[in-house]
Amino acid sequence: MLKPNTLLQNRYRILRLIGRGGMGAVYKAIDTRLQCTVALKEILLHEPHLRHAFEQEAKLLARLRHTALPKVSDHFREGDGQFLVMEYIPGDDLAALLSRNGGKFPATDVLEWVLLWSDQLLDALDYLHNQSPPVFHRDIKPQNLKLNSRGDIVLLDFGLAKNGLSQMRTVTAYRGAKAEGYTPTYAPLEQIRGAEPDPRSDLYSLAATLYHLLTGAPPPDALTRATALLNNQPDPLRPVSAFNPQTPAGIAAILHTAMAFNLEGRPPSAALMRRTLRNARSEQTVVPQSKPAIAHPLPSPVLATAGRAMVAVATPPARLEYAPAPSLHTPAIASIDPPATPSGHLLKTLVANSPVLSIAFSPDGQTLAVGGEDRSIGLWRSSDGHLAHTLEKHTDSVQTVVFSPNGQLLAAGSDDRTIRIWQLNGNAPIQAAHNLQHNAACLCFSPDGSMLAAGGWGSKVAIWQIEEGCPTEKITFATSFVHSLDFNQDSTLLAAGCYDGTVRIWDVQHRQLLRVLEVHNTFVLSVAFSPDGQRLASGGGNPTISIWQVGNGHLLETLQAHTNFVRSLAYSPNGHFLASGGEDRTVRLWDATTGSHLHCFPEHGNGVTGVIFAQNGHVLASGSRDHKIRLWQAA
């Protein structure tokens, strides 16, 4: 990474790092010749054909001129890097602004804003798609959208964590090799499968982004929706009106059409979709009267204005760097477990700033770590439900969090393709950060604390040795995309739930694949070893939970009660119970010995993304995309 004050080409002086990923970094810099601020995008490429492709792409991007696109003014090579010089757009992106407004924009204003933004963005996509060769963005999402000083939308491509030359791609750039270059929540199915670029793929991503901005809830990803249809279940994409009743039916219908599974079901072009939205807006007499103004958080409530719009912004909660865990001085979670409390009783509800994607109890039960779409990790005191600290180093959604067995480390994996490890018994906020070639969808410490395993949208599982709190030597196992990992109790076996519908079990000591379990007809989202290591539970893209005999790989039984697919599984520490969380919004408790369904906890407001027991086994936590973490009496 380039240090501040580094001078490139005797012209561009680095000010600070804006973002980084596996392929390079983006810096804020000063053009000393023109005395203006620029965004300097560094791409690390070594193969000659990719370096040539980048040069051709840079020349094409430099010719683009549209009010909703940042201008590319220069490109050059220096050292091992190639650089794009782009217009710098200050301020937070829409994802950050959404988070700072409590996860949802004001219902009275957001429709006008979205209609204005959609009109500007569709005009930009029409311009891009009609270039020769066509230009496809392929990663439209709230994180890649900003507002300029006039309140107009700008489509950015700062996300270097998605594997490619740049986020705005040409057809030519794809003829040499396929690349991921997408964010699953907003990507259409054909893009996830690696199909050739198509204008209608950008329309899907735009519609998914507008849906999120309108409703405050991200849409279910395309794989989730496809799995529901394969299992003859309703499409889990809920109507816009379920979240925002003020949205006219005609406008909502256009967004849903643009999010059709098949390309043929979507509008054929950005121009036609733009005209259709304009017509629907006219019929509903919904006309934006002013450009949006979304204020950045200030120390006290403020009114921010731009043009004729005005938005009240409440004071956000304090965000602190992590302090040593002993400073929390809270009693163990057992203090909230009165013996007379019946099973299934709701003990406490915690409300996060964004949809919850991952949860983890510290070994002593005093702290609950929560990773979310707002790119932060909240550390909550379980005794009183207080948010003690917020860790904010990731630049994309935090998909997984996990404590080390001794409670001294917290590891987190993100869509920004980094794994970050916090040392909890010291004042340094970050102990280590590792870049991956794919997102980090799942992490797992071995029970003996000697290893950390990581998996995601790549072709391997990586395992680091942990020595004195530091990851060192790494081994890898080849596999398909992985969504869940779990070690058995003696740390000799590692299980992975894979997107190809298999469960894979490796002998870690001998570094070999032990067996592949095949029963799921779609992807596996969660795996969990029983504490005695004799059984393995798996669940995924259907409502069935499978229980396997680890020793011989036989399928022992299937558990059926969920009505949609299963996202998370956890055994109680004593092995008596199995908890499951599903897309049907429910948390269920099972007798791990007999397979009997014991209890269904009251529904969350959205899909359940995580379930975990406290070490004492009496408390079960569940996290959901409804922004809530609930603590239940489990036994």
pLDDT digits (tens, 9 = 90+) for 582-625: 988 999 999 999 999 999 998 898 889 999 999 988 899 999 98
Which tokens go with 362? 């510290």
622 vs 481: which has the higher pLDDT: 622
Q: In whole angstroms, give the CA distance from residue 296 to residue 388.
A: 23
- The domain locations on the chain are 1-88, 90-313, 332-633
Alpha-carbon distance values, 385 to 269, 295, 325, 349 (Å): 49, 29, 16, 8
For residues 361-388, average pLDDT: 92
Q: What is the mean pLDDT of the chain?
A: 81
pLDDT given at position 635: 66
Q: What is the pLDDT of residues 494-535, one digit of tens each?
A: 999 987 788 999 999 899 999 999 865 667 889 999 999 999
pLDDT given at position 431: 54
- 177 CB contacts (<8 Å, ≥6 apart)? none
For residues 336-349, average pLDDT: 60
For the chain, helix, strand, coil in percent to 5 are 20, 35, 45
Q: Which CATH superfamily is domain 1-88 in?
A: Phosphorylase Kinase; domain 1 (3.30.200.20)
Beta bridge pairs of residue 528: 537
With b for 16 or more beta-carbon neighbours within 10 A and e for fewer, the 218-248 pattern comes to bbbbbbbbbbbeeeebeebbeebeebbeebb
- Which stretch of 50-59, 174-183, 404-413 has the lowest confidence by average pLDDT? 174-183
Pick the CATH number of 90-313 from 3.40.718.10, 1.10.510.10, 3.40.50.620, 1.10.287.70: 1.10.510.10
- Which stretch of 292-306, 372-386, 403-417, 436-450 has the lowest confidence by average pLDDT? 292-306
Nearest to 496 by CA among 542, 469, 459: 459
In one-letter notation, the amino acid at residue 126 is: D
Are 306 and 293 spatial neighbours (Cβ–Cβ below 8 Å)?
yes
pLDDT given at position 170: 38
pLDDT given at position 523: 79
Region for residue 18 given its phi and psi (left: phi exceeds 0; alpha: psi -120 to 50; beta: otherwise)? alpha
Predicted model pTM: 0.53
Q: What is the pLDDT of residues 92-134, one digit of tens each?
A: 889 988 888 888 888 777 888 899 899 999 999 999 999 888 8
Q: What is the pLDDT of residues 137-193, one digit of tens each?
A: 888 999 999 987 677 899 987 433 333 334 444 333 333 333 345 688 999 998 888
Confidence band of 451 (pLDDT split at 50, 70, 90) = very high
pLDDT given at position 417: 84
Question: Which phi and psi (to 5°) does residue 144 adopt?
Answer: -105, 20
Q: What is the pLDDT of residues 275-286, one digit of tens each?
A: 999 888 766 544
* pLDDT above 50: residue 209: yes
156: Cα separation from own chain's centroid: 18
518 vs 60: which has the higher pLDDT: 518
Are 462 and 474 spatial neighbours (Cβ–Cβ below 8 Å)?
yes
Sheet of 608-613, strands arranged across: 346-351, 628-633, 619-624, 608-613
Alpha-carbon distance values, 523 to 101, 185, 218, 223 (Å): 34, 16, 21, 9
Beta bridge pairs of residue 502: 518
Q: In whole angstroms, give the CA distance from residue 100 to residue 354.
A: 9
Q: In whole angstroms, give the CA distance from residue 313 to residue 306.
A: 14
For residues 403-408, average pLDDT: 92
Q: In whole angstroms, give the CA distance from residue 366 to residue 325.
A: 9
For residues 222-232, average pLDDT: 84
pLDDT given at position 169: 40
Confidence band of 309 (pLDDT split at 50, 70, 90) = very low
Q: What is the pLDDT of residues 238-267, one digit of tens each?
A: 999 999 988 999 999 999 999 998 898 999
Domain pair 1-88 / 90-313, same fold: no
- 206 CB contacts (<8 Å, ≥6 apart)? 118, 121, 122, 125, 140, 258
Which tokens go with 455? 């998996």
Q: In whole angstroms, give the CA distance from residue 206 to residue 202.
A: 6
Nearest to 607 by CA among 590, 623, 629: 623
* pLDDT above 60: residue 300: no
326 vs 386: which has the higher pLDDT: 386
pLDDT given at position 44: 73
Fold of 332-633: Methylamine Dehydrogenase; Chain H (2.130.10)
Tell me which residue has tokens 């735009």: 206
Q: DSSP string spanning 274-326?
A: HHHHHHHHHHHT----S----PPP-SS-EEEEETTEEEEEPPPPP------GG
* pLDDT above 60: residue 385: yes
pLDDT given at position 499: 78
Nearest to 535 by CA among 544, 525, 543, 546: 546
Helices (H) and strands (E) in the chain, counts: 9, 40
Tell me which residue has tokens 């991952």: 358
Confidence band of 20 (pLDDT split at 50, 70, 90) = confident
* pLDDT above 50: residue 298: no
Q: In whole angstroms, give the CA distance from residue 477 to residue 487.
A: 14
Are 419 and 413 spatial neighbours (Cβ–Cβ below 8 Å)?
yes
Nearest to 434 by CA among 410, 423, 418: 418
Q: In whole angstroms, give the CA distance from residue 265 to residue 37.
A: 43
Cis upstream peptide for 471 (omega within 30°) = no
For residues 69-89, average pLDDT: 88
